[in-house]
């Protein structure tokens, strides 16, 4: 199938067309920032966004999610599955390549030897319309991570803004099906040239001054280096980098019981490896009682352990951990330091 | 796809006091099926309203088929709650999880088993398994240390174990005529040679590290020492991130590792 063109003025109609079969989620304005959220009116879709506060992982792996409910009746226990079952599929419209790459990493976590049914249900029932990112921020380094600005797979449709039109490329059968809609026109050679020019223009906006080749090995060699003390002084262990990270997946599981103790829910909630009790076991033994081991755990998980676990770095260069760090710790500076010494 | 976080319902069949803070629970699945597991693996047990915790099988999957046992020390919310339950109570079971002891590695070997405290629980499962297949294994020996004579678990059963059993306690009470001191002092009283031997250790971290140091000193190789490790666990399936040591998840890649494997972790294993 050839690539397709949609006039910008038809975007609203396209969204309405999709709404017949899908719920629409996309970037939406929230105060001075953007967030991914359900879209009720096509006008809410803010495709000119730079980045969102939370990455799209929250749509597949929510910050708090009930797993099941239990109820004690006489001397029996009754369990109710609380995992969501959707009757309507969903379209995630406008996710950038870095964030989509983040989802592809989470896929490897939740679809490994063990399968996570809650994540996989949402993933399977969400169509991905990926949008080429036009405005990398000062924090972005997808070019260094190889996770942007271009992307090869993982999307149903890939959209590039080329002035008064959108250039659509299909990446799956479902994507091709959508492109059969009347208002799509076949892309011409000229459209394709314009798209390529646009991609080049975007690439030229990214200028990371470091490479991650060999980073895993360099991390290994520097486990006991003093460089970690220097870089982690300003960390307040708040967990913001974990929660805003497209690939951080650690969670806690807790029982929320009502006052009678007769019924309650087991829920999972996002957790942070920076929190003091993350590796604390009964009896008061804490495997990472100190702050530096906890901060190092996150960095080693991203750039060293992940290679052994999944064969990829668990970082997509989205820059959120830099943007939201209250201590202004710049991950890029840490990587450069590891690579330099 | 099945929601793997939902436990299977099970019934406590029997509760046995081992010590003042350790009990052994005999448990059957409510649907009458039996769990297929191997020694060294663990289950996640739910006491509804109190939480979930990991515990190793302390029974052997060979002879004990229509139930399994866990031996639990009371230390916090969920473990205290299960101590309050009696026969007939309903609990939740997820698992089995983990790799378990490599029985193939032990075949035709002398097996030196070293345990500390409630760390004897998974080793008891292994011991019963080895005793039931006695012909497949060489000499079996258990070195076990507890805090006081009253803290020795499985005391009444040990006498029937067809193997050398050496005990020691950290602090003796009245009437104790046995060894006093940490478990490594037992190395003085018995011959421990690396030839054709595999050592299996489970207990407090400090004990694991002291015992493996002692074994290495006696020319055991890093592959002849097997340890079962403990970490904070929330999921058992390699997702929640809590149980990692370096790149390994103890729930999924362990809890049993060879000493050599633990040397490759970037973080200290014990
Ligand atoms: C693989 C494995 C096997 C184990 N086998 C046994 C056994 O056979 N017998 C036995 O007595 N104990 C065993 N333990 C330790 C036992 O799981 C903890 O003592 C228990 O989890 C404490 O839970 P709690 O709710 O009573 O304590 P709390 O301190 O109230 O703990 C609350 C939460 O922390 C978690 N947690 C606390 N301590 C630990 C810990 N040490 N390990 C993992 N999670 C923890 C619990 O899952 C629970 O969700 C094992 C631990 C692991 C990791
Ligand atoms: S217990 Fe969750 S990853 Fe091991």
Q: Which two tokens stand for residue B17?
A: 């006091």
Predicted confidence band at A87 (pLDDT cuts at 50, 70, 90)? confident
Best probe of the B interface among A287, A293, A313, by most B CBs < 10 A, is A287
Ligand nearest to the CA of B242: 2
Total of domains in chain B: 2
% pLDDT > 90, chain A: 91
- Domain limit, last residue, from B97, B121, B138: B97
What is the mean predicted confidence (pLDDT) over A180-188? 95
- B245, part of any domain: no
Q: Tell me, what CATH number does B92's domain have? A: 2.40.30.10
State if residue B52 touches ligand 1 by the CB under 6 angstroms criterion: yes
8 Å CB contact between B72 and B23 = yes
Region B64-89 average pLDDT: 94
Q: Of the candidates B228, B250, B265, which is a domain's last residue?
A: B228
pLDDT of B266? 86
Question: Which pLDDT value is given to residue A25?
Answer: 97
CA–CA separation, B108 and B112 (whole Å): 13
pLDDT tens sequence across B164-222:
999 999 998 788 888 989 999 998 888 888 999 999 999 999 999 999 999 999 999 99
Assess if residue B31 is contained within a domain. Answer: yes
Phi first, then psi: give them for residue A55, nearest 5 degrees.
-75, 170
Q: How far apart are CA A226 and CA A194, in angstroms?
A: 50
The answer to whether the Cβ–Cβ distance between B76 and A282 falls below 8 Å is yes
What is the average per-residue pLDDT within A246-270? 94
| Cβ–Cβ < 8 Å for A206, A149 | yes
B239 → closest Cβ in A249, A255, A301: A249
Residues B89 and B145 occupy one common structural domain? no
CA of A137 to the centre of ligand 2 (A): 35
CA of B45 to the centre of ligand 1 (A): 10
What is the band of A257 on the pLDDT scale with cuts at 50, 70, 90? very high
**Distance between CA atoms of A155 and B52, rounded to whole angstroms?**
38
CA-CA distance, A82 to A265, in Å (whole number)?
9
| pLDDT (0 to 100) of residue B253 | 96
Asked if residue A149 has a cis previous peptide bond (ω within 30° of 0), the answer is yes
Phi, psi of A262 (to 5 degrees): -90, -25
Residue B64 has pLDDT above 80, yes or no: no
Q: B267 to chain A: which residues are within 8 Å by CB?
A: 287, 293
CB-CB neighbors (< 8 A) of B245 in chain A? 287
Beta bridge pairs of residue B68: B27
One domain, residues B59 and B38: yes
Same domain for B182 and B221, yes or no, is yes
Contact A332, A317 (CB under 8 A): no
Q: Please give, rounded to a whole number of angstroms, the shortest distance from the CA of A118 to a CA of chain B.
A: 7
End-to-end CA, chain B: 37
The partner residue sitting opposite B240, judged by closest CB among A81, A113, A250, is: A250
As beta bridge partners, residue B256 has B228
Do both B145 and B191 map to the same domain?
A: yes
* Structural domain for B14, as ranges: 8-97
Residues B65 and B171 in one domain: no
- Work out the number of other CB atoms within 10 angstroms of the CB of residue A153: 10
Beta strand B197-202 with B110-116 is parallel
Residue B207 lies in a domain: yes
At A323, phi and psi to the nearest 5?
A: -60, -40
Q: Best substitution site from B5, B53, B243, B246 to test ligand 2's pocket, by max atoms within 8 Å of Cβ?
A: B243
What is residue B188's predicted lDDT score, i.e. its pLDDT? 87
CATH of the domain at B208: 3.40.50.80
Q: Where do the structural domains in chain A lie, given as residue ranges?
A: 4-203, 215-340
CA quadruple A77, A82, A83, A85: dihedral sign: positive
Of A256, A329, A324, A330, which is closest to residue A68 (Cα–Cα)?
A256
First and final CA of chain A: distance in angstroms? Answer: 50
Least CB-CB distance to B90: which of A75, A116, A282? A75
CA B104 to centroid of ligand 1, rounded, Å: 28
Q: What is the mean pLDDT of chain B?
A: 94
Strand partners, A333: none
With a CB cutoff of 8 Å and minimum separation 6, the contacts of A159 are A94, A129, A130, A131, A132, A166, A167, A168, A169
CB A126 within 8 Å of CB A59: yes
- Contact predicate B224/B69, CB 8 Å: no
Could you give the dihedral angle defined by the CA atoms of residues A257, A258, A259 and A261, in that order, rounded to the nearest 10 degrees? -60
Q: Per-residue confidence at A133, pLDDT binned at 50, 70, 90?
A: very high
A91, A20 Cβ separation under 8 angstroms: no
Write the pLDDT tens digit of every residue in A204-236. Answer: 999 999 999 999 999 999 999 999 999 989 999
Question: Does B84 share its domain with B116?
Answer: no
How much is the ipTM here?
0.92
> Is residue A280 classed exposed, middle or buried when 0-12, 13-18 and 19+ CB atoms within 10 A define those classes?
middle
**Are B41 and B116 contained in the same domain?**
no
Is the per-residue pLDDT at B89 higher than 90?
yes
């Amino acid at each position: 199938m050839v690539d397709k063109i949609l006039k910008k003025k038809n975007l609203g109609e396209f969204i309405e067309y999709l709404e017949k079969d899908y719920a629409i989620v996309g970037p939406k304005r929230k105060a001075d920032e953007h967030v991914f959220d359900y879209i009720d009116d096509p006008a809410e879709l803010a495709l000119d966004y730079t980045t969102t506060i939370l990455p799209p992982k929250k749509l597949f792996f929510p910050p708090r999610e009930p797993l099941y409910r239990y109820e004690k009746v006489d001397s029996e226990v009754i369990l109710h599955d609380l995992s969501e079952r959707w009757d309507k599929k969903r379209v995630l419209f406008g996710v950038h390549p870095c964030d989509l790459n983040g989802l592809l990493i989470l896929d490897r976590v939740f679809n490994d030897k063990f399968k996570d049914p809650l994540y996989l249900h949402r993933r399977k029932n969400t169509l991905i319309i990926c949008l080429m990112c036009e405005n990398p921020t000062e924090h972005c380094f997808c070019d260094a991570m190889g996770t942007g600005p271009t992307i090869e797979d993982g999307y149903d449709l890939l959209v590039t803004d080329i002035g008064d039109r959108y250039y659509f490329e299909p990446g799956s059968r479902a994507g091709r099906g959508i492109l059969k809609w009347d208002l799509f026109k076949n892309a011409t050679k000229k459209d394709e040239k314009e798209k390529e020019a646009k991609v080049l223009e975007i690439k030229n906006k990214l200028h990371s001054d470091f490479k991650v080749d060999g980073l895993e090995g360099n991390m290994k060699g520097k486990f006991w280096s003093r460089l970690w003390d220097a870089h982690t002084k300003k960390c307040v262990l708040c967990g913001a980098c974990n929660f805003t990270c497209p690939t951080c997946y650690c969670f806690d599981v807790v029982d929320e019981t009502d006052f009678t103790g007769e019924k309650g829910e087991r829920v999972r909630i996002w957790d942070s490896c920076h929190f003091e009790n993350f590796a604390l076991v009964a009896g008061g033994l804490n495997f990472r009682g100190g702050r530096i081991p906890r901060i190092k755990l996150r960095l080693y998980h991203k750039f060293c352990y992940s290679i052994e676990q999944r064969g990829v770095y668990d970082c997509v260069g989205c820059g959120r951990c830099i943007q939201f760090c209250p201590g202004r710790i710049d991950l890029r500076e840490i990587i450069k330091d590891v690579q330099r010494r | 796809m099945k929601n793997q976080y939902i436990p299977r319902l099970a019934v406590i069949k029997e509760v046995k006091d081992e010590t003042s803070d350790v009990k052994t629970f005999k448990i059957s699945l409510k649907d009458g099926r039996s769990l297929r597991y191997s020694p060294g693996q663990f289950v996640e047990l739910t006491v509804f309203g109190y939480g979930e915790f990991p515990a190793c099988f302390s029974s052997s999957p060979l002879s004990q088929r229509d139930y399994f046992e866990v031996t639990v020390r009371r230390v916090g919310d969920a473990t205290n709650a299960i101590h309050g339950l009696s026969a007939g109570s309903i609990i939740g079971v997820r698992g089995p999880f983990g790799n378990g002891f490599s029985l193939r590695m032990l075949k035709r070997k002398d097996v030196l088993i070293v345990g500390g405290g409630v760390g004897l629980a998974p080793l008891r499962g292994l011991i019963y398994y080895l005793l039931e297949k006695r012909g497949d294994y060489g000499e079996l020996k258990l070195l076990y240390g507890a805090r006081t004579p009253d803290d020795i678990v499985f005391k009444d059963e040990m006498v029937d174990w067809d193997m050398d059993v050496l005990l020691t306690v950290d602090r003796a009470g009245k009437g104790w005529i046995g060894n006093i001191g940490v478990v490594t002092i037992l190395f003085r009283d018995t011959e421990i040679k690396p030839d054709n031997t595999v050592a299996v250790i489970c207990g407090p971290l400090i004990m694991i590290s002291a015992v493996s140091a002692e074994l290495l000193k006696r020319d055991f190789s890093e592959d002849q020492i097997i340890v079962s490790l403990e970490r904070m666990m929330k999921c058992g399936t390699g997702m929640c991130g809590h149980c990692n040591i370096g790149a390994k998840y103890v729930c999924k890649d362990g809890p049993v590792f060879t000493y050599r494997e633990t040397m490759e972790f970037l973080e200290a294993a014990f």
